Structure 1
Amino acid sequence: MGDKQPLPYDNVEFDWIQLSADIDNEPVETFYEKTKRKFSENPFVPIGAFGAVGALTYGLVSMTRNDQRASQIAMRARVGFQGFALAALIVGYMYGPPPPKRNVK
């Protein structure tokens, strides 16, 4: 009864401990740095996104003023900008630089 058998996991180094140490050693990218990097990688996606937001805003303002014609044109422009952003995203993915490879041990 006094003999204590070692548990099967006593002296085993878990993979997640090493993974946690590896993650802690990588430099952390701030929100501003990541945004700047993403915009430089594919500058047409933000143009399409900001255009869609602008058209949506203009369309909503036109709707509140009961200007149906301007509202309809703005909503069509929004769809066009969304299509432009989607096309830019796809083309950027196909022809852009490949993502950096991670060192996996």
Structure 2
Amino acid sequence: MAVAATPAVSDQPEAQTPGQIPFDLSQPPIIEGFTPLTKAKDESFKEKFLRKTKENPFVPIGCLGTAGALLYGLRAFHQGKTRQSQMLMRGRIFAQGFTVVAIVVGVFATALKPKQ
């Protein structure tokens, strides 16, 4: 004999207050004893780029130097100027090193700067 399974229905009211949605994904969860930090203003790519450039201007300078040396070195290589091409590739390596050092110095400077 087969017995039909009926879902168990609880007579207990749920633990939520009237009018409250159990999971509102548009709001952060409320955790007792925890106050979240306020969300920083969303900034566009241009605003973030300008802010980061002002914080550490040597990184974009190093990137431009690296790209410039690479492009001129490839152009010289294509034209058959091997000596000039080699010198520009060495300059590219120097510019890359400069950029890496600028990034590391910027990271340490940001880490040591007191929080506002």
User: TM-score, length-normalised on structure 1?
Assistant: 0.72
Match of 1:18 among 24, 27, 30: 27
- Cα distance between partner residues in 2 of 1:74 and 1:53: 11
| Code of the aligned partner of 1:18 | Q
- Whole-Å Cα distance in 2 between the matches of residues 84 and 78 of structure 1? 10
Match runs of 1:1-105 below 5 Å = 1=6, 3-5=8-10, 12-13=22-23, 17-19=26-28, 26-96=40-110, 98=113
How many percent of aligned residue pairs carry the same amino acid?
37
TM-score by length of 2: 0.66
Change (3 A) 1:4 1:98: farther
d(CA) in 1 for partners of 2:28 and 2:109? 32
- Aligned-pair CA distance for 1:40: 0.4
Q: Deviations over 1:18-43 (max 9, x none)?
A: 349x9xx6532011101100100100
CA RMSD of aligned residues (A): 3.2
Unpaired segments ≥5 residues, structure 2: 1-5, 30-35
For the residues of structure 1 that align with 2:66 and 2:51, how far apart are their CA atoms? 21
Pick closer, same or farther for the CA change 1:12–1:43 going to 2, 3 Å.
same
Report the count of equivalent residues: 95
Higher relative contact order (CA 8 A, sep 6+): 1
The structure whose Rg is larger is: 2
Q: Which amino acid aligns with 1:13?
A: F
Q: 1:50 to 1:99 in 2, by over 3 A?
A: farther
